[in-house]
A = this chain, B = another copy of it.
Amino acid sequence: MPLRETVNNSHSRWMDADGPVADIAISSRIRVARNLAGVPFPHLLDQTKAEEVIHAVRIAVEDKEAFSRVGSLELSLLSELSPVERQILVDKHLISPDLLNNFERKAVVLRDDEVISIMINEEDHLRIQCLMPGLQLQEAWDLVNQVDDALERTLDFAFSEKLGYLTACPTNVGTGMRASVMLHLPALKLIKQLGGVLNAISKVGLTVRGLFGEGTEALGDFFQISNQITLGQSEEEIINNIVAVVSQIITQEQAARNTLYKDRREFVEDLVCRAYGTLKYAHILSYEESMRLFSELRLGIEMGLITGIHARLLNELTVKIRPAFLIKLAGNEMSAHQRDIFRAGLIRKEFEQL
Which A residues are closer than 8 A to B by beta carbons? 266-267, 269-270, 273-274, 276-284, 341, 344
Contact B278 A274 (CB under 8 A): yes
Kindly list chain B residues whose C-beta atoms are within 8 Å of the C-beta of A279: 277
Min CB–CB distance A78 → chain B (angstroms):
36
Kindly list chain B residues whose C-beta atoms are within 8 Å of the C-beta of A280: 277
Partner of A283, one of B269, B282, B283: B269
- Ranked 8 nearest A-B pairs via Cβ: A277-B277, A277-B281, A270-B283, A273-B281, A270-B284, A269-B283, A274-B282, A277-B278
Cβ-closest chain B residue relative to A276: B281
CA distance A193 to B283 in the complex (A): 25
CA distance A279 to B270 in the complex (A): 11
Chain A interface main SS type: helix
Q: How many copies of this chain does the complex contain? A: 2
Further contacts, 10 of them, CB under 8 A, given A266-B341, A274-B277: A266-B284, A269-B283, A270-B283, A270-B284, A273-B281, A273-B283, A274-B281, A274-B283, A276-B281, A277-B281
- Name 26 A/B residue pairs within 8 A (Cβ), A-sorted: A266-B283, A266-B284, A266-B341, A267-B284, A269-B283, A270-B282, A270-B283, A270-B284, A270-B344, A273-B281, A273-B282, A273-B283, A274-B277, A274-B278, A274-B281, A274-B282, A274-B283, A276-B277, A276-B281, A277-B277, A277-B278, A277-B279, A277-B280, A277-B281, A277-B282, A278-B278
Cβ-closest chain B residue relative to A338: B266
Kindly list chain B residues whose C-beta atoms are within 8 Å of the C-beta of A267: 284
CA distance A211 to B278 in the complex (A): 28
Kindly list chain B residues whose C-beta atoms are within 8 Å of the C-beta of A266: 283-284, 341
CA distance A341 to B266 in the complex (A): 8
Min CB–CB distance A199 → chain B (angstroms):
32
Min CB–CB distance A265 → chain B (angstroms):
9
Kindly list chain B residues whose C-beta atoms are within 8 Å of the C-beta of A344: 270
Min CB–CB distance A121 → chain B (angstroms):
44
CA distance A266 to B280 in the complex (A): 15
Cβ-closest chain B residue relative to A282: B274
CA distance A270 to B283 in the complex (A): 4
Kindly list chain B residues whose C-beta atoms are within 8 Å of the C-beta of A270: 282-284, 344
Min CB–CB distance A100 → chain B (angstroms):
32
Cβ-closest chain B residue relative to A279: B277
Min CB–CB distance A287 → chain B (angstroms):
15
Cβ-closest chain B residue relative to A351: B277
CA distance A284 to B279 in the complex (A): 18
Kindly list chain B residues whose C-beta atoms are within 8 Å of the C-beta of A274: 277-278, 281-283
